[in-house]
Amino acid sequence: CFGENDLYYQIKVANPFRRWVVSKFRVAIMLVVGQWQWGVPFLPKRGVQLTLCLGQPIEVGEATEDPSPERVDEVQKLYMERLTGVFDK
């Protein structure tokens, strides 16, 4: 969905803490504030335009525990082609 980054304000002063959490626990967290409405700070901002783009599904076949590098490259190439097609529309 294009525009979703504009739904919330990032709390930039918390970036050092976020980096510490990532380095310590290998978990990325978001510290954001939206619109303070009804005392709830996590509602998204109003008036942000979101654009949802849907493309053709990608058939990848049966899931395997250890796919070959060739298969991974093939699926990635197909994914990039379809993603570029959606973006260019």
CA pair distance 89, 77, nearest whole angstrom: 19
Residue 8's alpha-carbon distances to 42, 44, 45, 70, in angstroms, are 8, 6, 6, 40
10-residue mean pLDDT series, the chain (89 residues)? 85 90 92 73 84 86 90 94 85
Between CA 67 and CA 87 the distance in angstroms is 28
Confidence at residue 39, expressed as pLDDT on a 0 to 100 scale: 66
In this predicted structure, what is the pLDDT of residue 37? 64
3-state SS assignment for residue 40: strand
Chain Cα centroid distance, residue 47 = 20
